[in-house]
Structure 1
């Protein structure tokens, strides 16, 4: 049986970008969130549940690093952990997300003890971390390519929230404002990494499956949040 030829670089990049149709920006909950149709408790539920994802990102990035034998990749990838966790407590992406919790009126202690995290979100996020622990480093990197689709979505979120949710303290937008330029640079590096290291058809197919899986993780999170609504 003949082995399928590898996709050309542009063809492979196009196939990865083509999975943008599965990104969570098209989910009914996000459409409602960005058109001002969510009640305050629904916004708070989204923030509280997204916290579980945020606080798990460094664990999945550490798993990718642990599986990667290449020092230059490890050195670059560890920057994501520093960005998210900060160099001291209360800094970085996690600190900014807690500021968002404050801005929408969530009790910080309730955020930290995760009492509002619904089981579907917990299950989906844990599955993502486990995927990165149990698959190759380049599959974990490929799964992170949802960042190709996120900068415009985050920019639209800031605009929409300012327009529709005047009750949110604008100080809470710091996470998105700081993350947008970083993720633009990260996505270019990540895409190049996947294109360079997934140089067989088998690897390319695995990378596409990894990115599709990550899109499903994000969609499952919103399914769970949408189902539970603002019940807290």
Structure 2
């Protein structure tokens, strides 16, 4: 499916989705054309074109997103009276926060930042992240709080496209950076199984519950919003650490 009239904000008035099949096709088109795997910063990261300080800046800023995901998911859970949905969704929090005696995604991400030479207390403080990172991530939490429960679930559908990106990231970074090893990349290898499971539930949910063209449009717009959340974080990283416009107070890499 090719969507005509899609803007930076929405699906556009020209597209009317009349079935769940058309909805899924539209969602997959949005991912194919707007997912942040296409961003120039990722091309540099995976192609070995960044120095260690630039990779550190990416991992530091991305930590804020990763550490906020369970907060976002707790807000999603709070939107539902349906116990079955809450039970299904809460494993996402455990995936990131971990549980007693088990490691979660946030701990795996801190392994990455530590392995890259960043101080863990500094990473966890989030004092050095870019303002745009903070604004984008907080906008995501506000979105799932303020929009409909259907849109809250739909915004997670970028997970449909994550496994390919994780595979590219694992192979590219291990191949090109001598300061990267498989142990510190464990976050991504674990998400290769977690993301498809999560995406399958969310996709089935929106296909079943978006019953009108207007609801299907809202689902697509939620995914567009989420792709913007991810894309703008990379815009900020590129502007600050590739073009060299680091805002006051943000992380400044040591000379490489």
- Counterpart of 2:97 in structure 1 is 85
- Counterpart of 1:11 in structure 2 is 22
Distance in 1 between the 2:16 and 2:202 partners? Answer: 23
Inter-CA distance 89–8: structure 2 relative to 1 (3 Å threshold)? same
Distance in 1 between the 2:16 and 2:157 partners? Answer: 23
Distance in 1 between the 2:109 and 2:102 partners? Answer: 10
Q: 5+ residue gaps in structure 1? A: none
- Counterpart of 2:52 in structure 1 is 40
Length, aligned pairs only: 229
Distance in 1 between the 2:198 and 2:113 partners? Answer: 25
Distance in 2 between the 1:6 and 1:16 partners? Answer: 11
- Counterpart of 2:78 in structure 1 is 66
Distance in 1 between the 2:58 and 2:47 partners? Answer: 15
1:199 alignment partner, SS class: coil
Specify which of 198, 204, 218 is matched with residue 192 of structure 1: 204
- Counterpart of 2:228 in structure 1 is 216
- Counterpart of 1:145 in structure 2 is 157
Distance in 1 between the 2:42 and 2:101 partners? Answer: 30
**1:90 shift after superposition:** 7.9
1:229 alignment partner, SS class: helix
CA deviation digits over 1:138-175, x for unaligned, max 9?
A: 10110100001110100110000110012123211110
Cα-Cα RMSD: 1.6
Distance in 1 between the 2:66 and 2:199 partners? Answer: 18
TM-score (normalised: structure 1):
0.95
Check if 1:202 corresponds to 2:214: yes
CA deviation digits over 1:167-197, x for unaligned, max 9?
A: 1232111101111111111111110011011
Check if 1:122 corresponds to 2:131: no
Query: Which shifted more, 163-172 or 141-150?
Result: 163-172
